[in-house]
Structure 1
């Protein structure tokens, strides 16, 4: 049986893919062999394919409900822009998408995230 973190990760990937297709009209493709990224997403506006890494977004109640996305590989090193184009942090049925800049952790408040990141949810996508 799969480990709980594997199940959570798989669900987050499915939610991210669904929201990217549903709210932005992206095409999503999963690689047949393991890659650094989770899937490719093709932007319908310009046809460009993006390498997407999906992470579960955490709400830090001990830090005034800060939103944090830990963007490190299994070896503890951050994903780099050479490996991943976009990071999608998933929280339940919503997600935030942003460019990978090579940080190991991405922090934001709810208000700041809506300005700096693209919010994906079941009803709309706010591009900011």
Structure 2
């Protein structure tokens, strides 16, 4: 009998692949995935200055009960927040688009669509961007 991955594992893997794809196509970053478990999901190299950034990927949720607020829950498996010493950026993925922002040690990051335009970097495929 084959073992099927849990839905949350599948969702996480798809989010990581989406984030990696957007980093490469939208920002021109080189993207690597650690071979062993780390606090971060991806390592991305900035093509302009050559700096490497540790990136944690999470699912972005739109809270209809909170005027469509955007929220990214950024907790580790033990419930604690990622720190600036562990992760440089967090990418919240929703479908084929994502928002990237600095890790500041919070367990939750909230924004409105309007404030996200100035506080967070939106990454999206060009076809999806035209639809939204």
TM-score (norm. length: structure 1)? 0.95
Q: Of the candidates 116, 119, 122, which is equivalent to residue 116 of structure 1?
A: 119
Q: Of the candidates 18, 22, 27, which is equivalent to residue 25 of structure 2?
A: 22
Q: What SS does the corresponding residue of 1:57 show, helix, strand or coil?
A: strand
- Unaligned stretches of 5+ in structure 2? 128-132
Q: What SS does the corresponding residue of 2:126 show, helix, strand or coil?
A: coil
Q: 1:32 corresponds to which residue? A: 35
Q: Deviations over 1:37-71 (max 9, x none)?
A: 00100000100000000000000001000000000
Q: 2:80 corresponds to which residue? A: 77
TM-score (norm. length: structure 2)? 0.92
Aligned residues: 124
Q: CA RMSD in A?
A: 0.9
The structure with the larger Rg is 2
Q: 1:45 corresponds to which residue? A: 48
Q: How does 1:63-102 map to 2 (within 5 A)?
A: 63-102=66-105
Moved >3 Å (runs of 4+): none
Q: Deviations over 1:10-30 (max 9, x none)?
A: 000000000000000000001
Q: 1:2 corresponds to which residue? A: 5
- Unaligned stretches of 5+ in structure 1? none
